[in-house]
Amino acid sequence: MNSTHQPDLRLVATNRSDTAISARCGCCEARHAGLCDTLADGDLLHLAHAAHWQLISKGRVFALEGDPSRHFFNINHGAVKLCKDLPDGRRQIIGFAGPGDFVGLAADHHYSFSAEAINEVRLCSFDRVGLHLMFVRFPALEKRLAAMASSDMVVALAHMLLLGRKTSIERVASFLLGWSTKDDGRVLALPMSRTDLGDYLGMTIETVSRSLTILKNQRVIAIASDHGISIVNRRRLSDMAGAIPRRGGLSGESACRKTRN
Amino acid sequence: MNSTHQPDLRLVATNRSDTAISARCGCCEARHAGLCDTLADGDLLHLAHAAHWQLISKGRVFALEGDPSRHFFNINHGAVKLCKDLPDGRRQIIGFAGPGDFVGLAADHHYSFSAEAINEVRLCSFDRVGLHLMFVRFPALEKRLAAMASSDMVVALAHMLLLGRKTSIERVASFLLGWSTKDDGRVLALPMSRTDLGDYLGMTIETVSRSLTILKNQRVIAIASDHGISIVNRRRLSDMAGAIPRRGGLSGESACRKTRN
DNA sequence: CGCATACTTGAGCGAAATCAAGGCCTGTGG
DNA sequence: CCACAGGCCTTGATTTCGCTCAAGTATGCG
C-alpha cells in the first residue's frame, strides 16, 4: 500500500508536444503531465529517494491542512477532493484533482487545505527538497510548475465569482460545464458525492439535488445514474451558468455600472 | 498623468532583511517590495523602456478582464480593487491591492480580472517581455514572484471558504481581521465603499452595514467614520469570524466527520 | 443652500437552508 | 433466497438568513 522507490527512480520524458506534454516515471510508470517539457527526449532526472509511490484508499486524508508541506503529489489514478474545514464541521471544497493533476504545489511551508481520496487513488509523492534540487538542474521545471500554479489561480478566481455571486442553478450549471469535456451526449463521470458537490459549490446536498432535477426536467442534461450525467443542450446549460462576460464588452474607461438582477 | 520612463530606469536594492525586502525604483522612487531580494545591494537592473510610471484617477479601470496582459503593476500609493463581473452587472471583488502589492502577476496571456482604482493611485507598470529578460539575468527574481503568487493563492483559498460557507457576520469579522494590522485600538482605514465590501464578501451593502452595526453594538468594533473603524475586542472578533481550525486537530486517518451547525 | 452620493435602518419577501420522509441500491447475515 | 440495515439520493414542508424595496440620515460639493 505504500512502497518506497529504489534509489534509481527517474523521470523519463516521452512526449514533448505543446498541448500534451508528459513524462513517464521510470519506476512506477506514473505519468507526470507537464513536468519535463524542456528536457530532451531520453533525458533522465535522477530523483533518488525523492519520490515514492502510494495507493490511497477511499476516504483517506493524505495531506492535512496546517501540516508541514514536505511533499507534493501527482495524481495517477482516481479522484481527490481538496478541502478547507471550519471547526464546527462546515467544509469548503476548493477543488478536485484527477489523473495528471498536481496537488500541494502552491503551499509554501504548510498545506493550506486537506486532500482526501474520493475513491481508490494512486499517486506519486515528491519530496519538496528533492524538487528544489531538480530546479537547480532544470530551471525550466520551476517555470512550468509556476505556470501550473498560475492556471490554478485563474480557476480559483472563477470559483470565487461562483461562490460569491451565482445562484444555485448557475453554480451547478457552471460546474457541469467546467467538469465536462468537449464531447456532449457522452456520459460524464462524477466520482464525487452530492455532499462533495455541495461542499464545492457552497450549497447543501438538497439544493444540489433539486438543481440537477430542474436541469434534467428542462432537458438540459440527462441523468444516467447518480454518478453519471450527460449534457443534452450545452448552449442552454451555458446560458444558465451565468455566461462569462465577452471580451471587449465595456470600454476601459470608467466601466462597471451596476444593474443587479 | 502618464509619463514614460527614461531609458535608464533601474531598480536599486536597498534592503535585504528576510521579512521586509524592498527595492527602490531608481527613476520614480517607487518601492517595489520583494522584487530584488537576491540582488547584491547596489546591483542595478536596467529595464530600459520596460516600465513606466502612471497616475490613475479614482474609478479608473487600468486593467480589463480578458484583455491581453501585456503589463503587470506594482501599486505605489492608493488602493485598488480587483473585480470579476457577470454580464448582468453582478460583481465579485476577488481582492484589494495596496502600496507594495503586485497586480497581474498570475495572468498568463489575458487578465483574469479587472483592476480599478478605489482612490487616486500611483503605480509602476512593468512590461511582461522586459520581465522575462530580467528572469534570464536574475533567476531568483522569478522564484520570488512565484512565491508571491503562491501566497496570493493561500489568500484566495481562504476567501473561497468565506464565500462558500461563512455567515454574513463571520464574513465581515473575517475581513476586518484580515485587513487589520496588529495594533488594536488604532483607527483602521477602509478606503473602499460599502458596495466594494459587499462585492468582496459576496453580500449586499445593506447586509454589510447591518453586520457592522451589530459588531459596533456589541462593542467589538468602534466606527469612527464611514471609512475608519477600530477593533475594540480582537478576541471576540476572532471568535465571530469562524475560527481557523487549529493545527493537528484531527488524525490524518479518516477525518472529516460533519456536524453542520 | 440644494443636490448628489453614500450609508443606515426598517419592512416584507424569497431563495436556499433545515427538517423530515421516503425510495433505491448494496452488502450482509440468516 | 429473502430480510434487513445503512448509505446515498430525492422530494416535500417549513423556517430563516440575507436580499429587495423603500425611507430616512449624514456628508460633501457646486
* Structure confidence at residue A116 as a pLDDT band (50, 70, 90): very high
B157: nearest CB among A84, A164, A252: A84
What's the pLDDT at B248?
A: 35
For residue A201, give the nucleotide whose C1' atom is nearest its CA. C16
What's the pLDDT at B100?
A: 87
Q: In this complex, how many residue pairs, one in chain A and one in chain B, have their CB atoms less than 8 Å apart?
A: 204
For residue A145, give the amino acid letter: L
Strand partners, A3: A53
Buried b (16+ CB within 10 A) or exposed e, A124-160: bbbbbebbeebbeebbebbbbbbebbbebbbebbbbb
What's the pLDDT at A258?
A: 34
pTM comes to: 0.84
A55-69, B22-36, B139-153, B170-184: range with lowest mean pLDDT:
B22-36
* Structure confidence at residue A244 as a pLDDT band (50, 70, 90): low
- A105 CA to C3 C1' distance (Å): 55
Q: Which of A72, A80, A84, A109 to mutate to test the interface with B (most CBs of B within 10 A)?
A: A84
Q: Is the pLDDT of residue B40 over 50?
A: no
What's the pLDDT at A100?
A: 87
What's the pLDDT at B170?
A: 98
Helix spans in chain A (H): 128-137, 139-165, 168-179, 194-201, 205-217, 234-240
Give strand C nucleotides closer than 7 A to any protein Cβ: 6-11, 15-20
Q: Is the pLDDT of residue A87 over 70?
A: yes
Average pLDDT of chain B, as a whole number: 78
Which chain B residue's Cα is nearest to A261?
Answer: B88
Q: Is the pLDDT of residue B162 over 90?
A: yes
Strand partners, A231: A221
Q: How many residues can be counted in chain A? A: 261
Summarised one tens digit per residue, pLDDT across range A131-178 is: 777 777 777 777 888 888 999 999 999 999 999 999 999 999 999 999
Containing A75, the helix (H) or strand (E) segment is strand A71-77
Q: Is the pLDDT of residue A110 over 90?
A: yes
Cβ atoms A73, A30 nearer than 8 A: no
Q: Is the pLDDT of residue A97 over 70?
A: yes
- What is the rounded average pLDDT of the residues A73-89? 95
| B105 Cβ neighbours under 8 A, 6+ residues apart | B72, B145, B148, B149, B152
- What is the rounded average pLDDT of the residues B230-249? 77
Q: Is the pLDDT of residue A16 over 70?
A: no
- Give the phi and the psi of residue A162 in degrees, each rounded to 5: -60, -50
B218 beta carbon to strand C: under 7 Å: no
